[in-house]
Structure 1
Amino acid sequence: MVGTTALKRRLSEVNENEEQQNNKIAKMDDSKEELSRNERQERVYKNMRLRRIIKENHGSDVNQLGFFFNNKNFSAPVGIDVRKTFDKRGSVQREQTDTSNVLATVGGCQLNVYDNEHCGDHLDIMSNFDLSLLQDKQEDPVRRELHTFCWLYRENDAWLALAGTDGLIHIVSLANSREINILHGHTKTIHDLQTHPSSDNYILSTSKDGTVRLWDVDAKRCLVIFEADATVTCFDQTGEKFISGNSRGELREWIIPKDIIPIENDDEPLIITKKDSKLFKKYNGDNYIDCIRFANGNVLTKSINGRVEYWNTETEKLIRSFRVRTTENFSRFDVSLDESFICVGNSQGCVFIYNIHTGKLVTELSHRRSTKSVRCCVFTRDCRQVICAGEDGFIWRYDYIDDLTLEEWSNWKKAE
């Protein structure tokens, strides 16, 4: 009975604390001035502190992480507009298609899937996929490292497309905890996978073999081969074209042919050559492009020297630049779901949050224990957490902490 009482008290505290945080964020205007939504969101970011550290057992760099927001099938408020409700057990109440609590990471030979909302604080592992277990005994397991993945929604299931040094695209079912298909075609390492913005049946893969390929996942076929010497790609919001970047700073726009249908087994994929693409000027100089994202109808391109450039593809006008303090570092950045903020890591273990509209550095997230390169970072749907990962398999989670709790922490330090 004692344990049951303690559990009920803990769940009651979870609900009460969450409600208090909801109210505090909604009423952050302690002065009489009117604050914009972005200004209130900036206050949330400034109040973030390190709350969780996880070390994955593969001991290798975490190359990518990402939440399953499932935006094609689920629509809800984002950022400070999110209001969570809890059931009697303390679990967040959500619709079936709301999978925004599910986080995946790839590093070494492994895919790990986590639940980021278990009674508010934990980051609990849900599933693990080890690519090395599928290898022949004669093959060197070090050569089969996962570099990238993307989410694919299916009714009553979530699929993940995984790829890396073996040049294959592995399709994994989360509900069944097994590999269900392999897409063959690339001959070298795959750097990047992207899901089509309007259909989870199409994905774009970028390989060291000098091609970018558009795939029909259900048909298990490559539809188009783009002769793009690229390191990374990103669909625009319409899904009708994409931008590629390469190791020499080249940025190109590629048009996806209309009315593509699954081809028969004996047909060859359509080939689009480099002369059919549009070459942009080098916004990032001659530096290796490691991440591209669209926001507000414009594009953000990042190079490994820490330069993030925000520009318009139609006018080719540079809107603003963000400079991240770093040595040479491969790091994927993230754009908040309201397309107002970016988070990006550096080679010293820090994460920087910028306001896209103003160019302002909102805050720097750091900790004395976080000293190694950040390879990737992401916002949660409610933007009350930023999760980053990088060298040696470490995952770091920064959480929003309300003013009262920060004051209590400060008093504890003074008392010591």
Structure 2
Amino acid sequence: MRSTAKTALGSEPAVGTLTVSKKKEYRVTNRLQEGKRPLYAIAFNFVDARYFNVFATVGGNRATIYQCLEGGVIAVLQAYVDEDKDESFYTLSWACNVDGTPFLVAGGINGIIRVIDAGNEKIHKSFVGHGESINEIRTQALKPSLIVSASKDESVRLWNVHTGICILIFAGAGGHRNEVLSVDFHPSDIYRIASCGMDNTVKIWSMKEFWTYVEKSFTWTDLPSKFPTKYVQFPVFIASVHSNYVDCNRWLGDFILSKSVDNEIVLWEPITKEQSPGEGVVDVLQKYPVPECDIWFIKFSCDFHYNAAAIGNREGKIYIWELQSSPPVLIAKLSHVQCKSTIRQTAMSFDGSTILSCCEDGTIWRWDAAASS
């Protein structure tokens, strides 16, 4: 289903003397076989501190919620099987209602977004709008009732999970020209998002001039279909950092981490030209090599404070990079003789002490940092 795009293989990252104090040791503490279908996404709940050790996975037409307990134990809390047997979820995100009820939001091949009320164990809403499959969903940390979705239909959509309204559609004249594979909210600038995709670009968008519509979505009492959804046709910045599909991007402050199929994650700064919106220059700051990571739809994750990033590869190995150091420091390289399947996504716990991975063969692996002596 997820095609491969081969490029020249990267070399093993150079590890310098800086790693002595930074290196961490992790060991496998659990392995679960969830099913036979590939697992495409896994994520801890960073939205609500009450559930810091709760995570979820999606694969096939199933979404499952787990809890990480002491001693490597993983407990199943809830499981949802979509009524459509042909559904295949590719992405999930944690969100919450305005009253604090925890939501798990999932989307995939059918283009329908399911908002699961995990507090009451039922479907809260289903969002229909995208014309093609959904590749990623992310939640606005400052307003966790807002989510954004990236789709094969070349658009990004902003939704209100409380009211079910599609507020904004980022597409059109200046939009993506192929599948949008990843999207992320800026951590502190509530108006900004970044998206990337199969047109090899990363685009930064601003919601500032449309913010009244975002506010209106919380008080709208008419049918969601009657809401005056607005199109945002022009990004404020377009970056060509990569020469191939870009399948994961995350903000690191005002910088951006992005990944293509070139066996590396790139950290760069967008420098805009005030006189010509949409244009600017890219200052590449650092590169984090990830060998055997030359197929698309492999996504990296970070701990809550963005101290480190963890990414798997097509050989079942995980690379953990220190993000706050220059030159880059490889904290750990994780491998297990029985983990040979492609790792589609990782999840780092709040403090980075636990790392989870979900694999093409339907397995979940848990790694825990060894106690320092």
Q: TM-score range by the shorter chain?
A: 0.7 to 0.9
Cα pair 2:186 2:253 within 8 Å, conserved: no
AA at the equivalent of 2:341: K
**Matches of 1:385 and 1:206 in 2, distance apart?**
28
**Matches of 2:191 and 2:316 in 1, distance apart?**
37
Greater share of helix residues, 1 or 2? 1
Distance 1:372 1:123, change over 3 A: same
Q: Which digits, 9 at most, give the CA deviation of each residue in 1:146-192, with x for residues without a partner?
A: 11111112446311111111111111111222212111111211111
The aligned counterpart of 1:51 is 29
Instruction: Tell me the SS of whatever aligns to 1:150.
Output: strand
Kindly indicate whether residue 105 of structure 2 is the aligned counterpart of residue 157 of structure 1: no
Identity percentage of aligned residues: 21
CA drift of 1:353 comes to 0.8
1:354 pairs with 288, 311, 321, which one? Answer: 321
- Tell me the TM-score normalized by structure 1: 0.74
The aligned counterpart of 2:242 is 284
The aligned counterpart of 2:191 is 240
Larger Rg: 1
Aligned residues between the structures: 327
**Matches of 1:288 and 1:156 in 2, distance apart?**
37
1:198 pairs with 142, 162, 167, which one? Answer: 142
Kindly indicate whether residue 352 of structure 2 is the aligned counterpart of residue 383 of structure 1: yes
CA drift of 1:222 comes to 0.7
Gaps of 5+ in 1: 1-35, 75-97, 136-140, 405-416
Instruction: Tell me the SS of whatever aligns to 1:175.
Output: coil
Kindly indicate whether residue 334 of structure 2 is the aligned counterpart of residue 345 of structure 1: no
Distance 1:312 1:156, change over 3 A: closer
- Tell me the TM-score normalized by structure 2: 0.83
Instruction: Tell me the SS of whatever aligns to 1:283.
Output: coil
Distance 1:304 1:192, change over 3 A: same
Q: Which digits, 9 at most, give the CA deviation of each residue in 1:336-378, with x for residues without a partner?
A: 2222211111110000011122212222100111111110112
CA drift of 1:391 comes to 0.9
Kindly indicate whether residue 161 of structure 2 is the aligned counterpart of residue 217 of structure 1: yes
AA at the equivalent of 1:244: S
Gaps of 5+ in 2: 1-17, 273-281
Cα pair 1:244 1:253 within 8 Å, conserved: yes
**Matches of 2:318 and 2:61 in 1, distance apart?**
26
The aligned counterpart of 1:253 is 204
Q: Which digits, 9 at most, give the CA deviation of each residue in 1:23-82, with x for residues without a partner?
A: xxxxxxxxxxxxx9x975x34x2x21112110102x111111101122xx64xxxxxxxx
Cα pair 1:202 1:214 within 8 Å, conserved: yes
Cα pair 1:102 1:114 within 8 Å, conserved: yes
AA at the equivalent of 1:165: I
Greater share of strand residues, 1 or 2? 2
The aligned counterpart of 2:289 is 323
AA at the equivalent of 1:335: C
Distance 1:396 1:267, change over 3 A: closer
**Matches of 1:245 and 1:112 in 2, distance apart?**
27
**Matches of 1:397 and 1:304 in 2, distance apart?**
25
Distance 1:277 1:114, change over 3 A: same
Distance 1:105 1:236, change over 3 A: same
2:303 pairs with 317, 332, 336, which one? Answer: 336
The aligned counterpart of 2:10 is none
Kindly indicate whether residue 260 of structure 2 is the aligned counterpart of residue 307 of structure 1: no
The aligned counterpart of 1:365 is 334
AA at the equivalent of 2:353: R
AA at the equivalent of 2:38: D
**Matches of 1:49 and 1:306 in 2, distance apart?**
24
Tell me the C-alpha RMSD between the 2 structures.
2.0
Cα pair 2:264 2:293 within 8 Å, conserved: no
Instruction: Tell me the SS of whatever aligns to 1:106.
Output: strand
Once the two structures are superposed, the pairs formed by residues 54-203 of structure 1 within 5 Å of their partners are: 54-57=32-35, 59-70=36-47, 74=49, 98-117=50-69, 119-131=70-82, 134-135=83-84, 141=85, 143-154=86-97, 155=99, 157-203=101-147
